[in-house]
Amino acid sequence: MIDEFELMPQEEPFDPFAVMLFKALQVLAFLFFIALLAIAPEAKDGKIDSKAEFLVTMSWPDQHPDDFDMFVQDPIGNMVWYRRREAGFMLLDRDDRGGANDFIVVNGRKVLSPIRQETVSIRGIVAGEYTVNVYHFIAMGREPVPVSVKVEKLNPTVQVVYYDTIMLQSAGTERTAVRFAIDGSGTVTDVNSREKSLLQTLRNPRRNAG
């Protein structure tokens, strides 16, 4: 017989227990993999993973057509605004022009965004006073518009340094929202709202240094 010369492979006896054990190990390995994916890093309350030291946010009512601009000046005279988006350690992320540019084009169609907001990040520590001004660039109506300004210290935990809402009614109006001072370690040492025209500073740097 051919089988006597071992020219044909011999079939292994079927072991249902071994098959079930193998399948069970496969299921356990799969569940272990899913568990690893589901495990998140330990959350730390109040922590923020950001390279910025301070975040300044200006916002006004959603879908409002008016255009407001934020000006931020650092202690050594650097200033960010819509014509200079980066200066020193400061960066203006976007010039929000109200209803004029709050949209993106997707497949040839405009997708509108209702949010009206500008933010400036301060990515390093320069000791001294920072000034945050709001300018009413274009007014589409005659009613006063509430504009909110918030300053947050981000490290080592998030701390709101300032938050308030001011009313602006007509185009061409400039208001100082806040002036805040920090020391060399980034600790806030003073917060006030004394008026200081940054537009005048741009026109004549020596005229409005106080």
CATH number (domain holding residue 151): 2.60.60.30
pLDDT tens profile 78-96: 999 999 999 999 999 988 8
For residues 140 and 99, state if they share a domain: yes
What does the mean pLDDT of the chain come to? 82
Higher per-residue confidence, 43 vs 28: 28
Same domain, 34 and 58: no
Same-domain pairing of 124 and 25: no
**Are the CB atoms for 197 and 174 separated by under 8 Å?**
yes
| 75, 106: one domain | yes
Which residue type does 84 have? R
Does the pLDDT at position 166 exceed 80?
yes
Q: What is the spatial distance between Cα 69 and Cα 198, in angstroms, rounded to a whole number?
A: 12
Rg of the chain (C-alpha set): 30
210 assigned to some structural domain: no
Is there a single domain that holds both residue 94 and residue 11?
Answer: no
Q: Which two tokens stand for residue 10?
A: 């011999």
Highest mean pLDDT among 45-59, 106-120, 183-197: 183-197
Residue range 49-78, pLDDT digits in tens: 458 999 999 999 998 999 999 999 999 999
Q: Has residue 208 been placed in a domain?
A: no
What pLDDT is attached to residue 173? 97
Please provide the size of the chain in residues: 210
The residue segments making up the domain with residue 34 are 2-38
In percent, how much of the chain has pLDDT > 70?
67
> What is the residue type of 53?
E
What are the two backbone dihedrals, phi and then psi, of residue 122, each rounded to the nearest 5 degrees? -110, 110
- Give Cα 115 distance to the centre of its chain: 14
**Number of structural domains, the chain?**
2
Question: Which tokens go with 200?
Answer: 């005048």
Percent of the chain with pLDDT over 90: 58
Instruction: Examine the domain organization and report whether 58 and 141 are in the same domain.
Output: yes
Say whether both 125 and 21 belong to one domain.
Answer: no
Could you give the CA distance from residue 79 to residue 88 in angstroms, rounded to a whole number?
A: 8
Give the pTM: 0.70
Q: Are strands 86-87 and 90-92 parallel, antiparallel or unpaired?
A: antiparallel
Does 99 map to a domain?
Answer: yes
Which helix (DSSP H) or strand (DSSP E) does residue 18 occupy?
A: helix 16-38
Of the ranges 8-17, 147-156, 201-210, which one carries the lowest mean pLDDT score?
Answer: 8-17
